[in-house]
Structure 1
Amino acid sequence: MAASAVDARLWGKARGLTTSCPVICHLLNTAADAGALWDMTLTEEARALTAQRLGVSVEACRQWLCLWAGLHDIGKISPPFQAMVPETYKALTDAPRAPLRTGTSPAPSGRSCAMTCPGTGR
């Protein structure tokens, strides 16, 4: 797999959406949201205390927070989870890989992710 392509057939959100949201979009949006919450809601003192308790710099603490938030649903790439939406799973197992190209459009709402979940506006 090329470094600039991600398999967009792996879904991450489907309930209540007009079309499923690729798991990569969901994970990256969650990581970006965690970073935005860190930046906008925590005081400098709260950031410093959190970083101190973890034994890392404030910058590294933010990066770790974003990483772990982004990985929170990594299990969604497993076959049992993907099979929860039978039509999507059939397409996944029957068709060749469908890459999602990244970095082609500006991020919505100031996010650092250049991808959006179809049907969500996020």
Structure 2
Amino acid sequence: MRHLGALLLGAVVALSAVVVHRVDALGLPVGLLLGGLASLYTAWHLRRGATPRTAASYCLGWVAVLGVLLAGKPEGDFVLASDASGYALMGVGFLLVGFGVAALLARSTGPTT
């Protein structure tokens, strides 16, 4: 159940990050910073918990949603534009892939239930 919850959390956080990544305030990419930091902080927090492998499930959910959204819409449009904020969000996805692999290699420090 813990891994399923982390997978769903990753999907929700990724979808939220994609929705807000284009929001600018006073010339600053506030949405991108919020979405990227929330995504990375959640993975880091799960990694530091009693069962660090849930971070890998979270990263899988996050990257799966990003992959579906990168595939494009049926009419030929794309959800993520080919601009700096779109590439930065894809960079967050690459960071999470590495983080998820590292979490799989981590040892559990808590109960094994």
Q: Same fold (TM over 0.5)?
A: no
Greater share of residues in strand: 1
* TM-score of the pair, normalised by structure 2: 0.30
Considering Cα pairs closer than 8 Å and 6+ residues apart, tell me whether 1 or 2 has the greater RCO: 1
Greater share of residues in helix: 2
